[in-house]
Amino acid sequence: GCQAEIGSASAMAAGAITFLEGGTNGQILDAVALSLKNMLGLTCDPIAGLVEVPCIKRNVCGAVNAVVSSQMVMAGIKSAVPADEVIESMGRIGKLLPSCLKETSGEGLAVTPTAAAVMEKMKG
């Protein structure tokens, strides 16, 4: 779901930004870790099964997360947990999340009254 899609993209972007800013390999990995830690456990609950709500806004937040994570690292902040351990944690968390929160539109924002109204509008 979103933790793997947006989280991974945000982490890769954080690493790339840090590289472009002249960061060391250690700083690049710290930026990856900081960014991905902020996305752990993020559910994937698209309304009407479309990657529009909340997905587009989550992608923007992931981009901002990447920039801020890189800036923090370049300012001297280090991740308390190494990138490899954060990535392993993401895999474990993904396995623990129920399937209804993994891009099925079976829970979360996808089952709100507003989501039901969107579905009705799409049918009509």
Averaged pLDDT of the chain: 96
Q: Tens digits of per-residue pLDDT, 41-58? A: 999 999 999 989 999 999
Q: In the structure encoding, which two tokens stand for residue 58, read together?
A: 């989550």
pTM for the whole structure: 0.93
**Nearest CA among 93, 99, 82, 80 for reference residue 29:** 82
Residues 46, 51, 54, 60: is their CA dihedral positive or negative? Answer: positive
pLDDT tens for each residue of 67-110: 999 999 999 999 999 999 999 999 999 999 999 999 999 999 99
Residue 1 has pLDDT above 80, yes or no: no
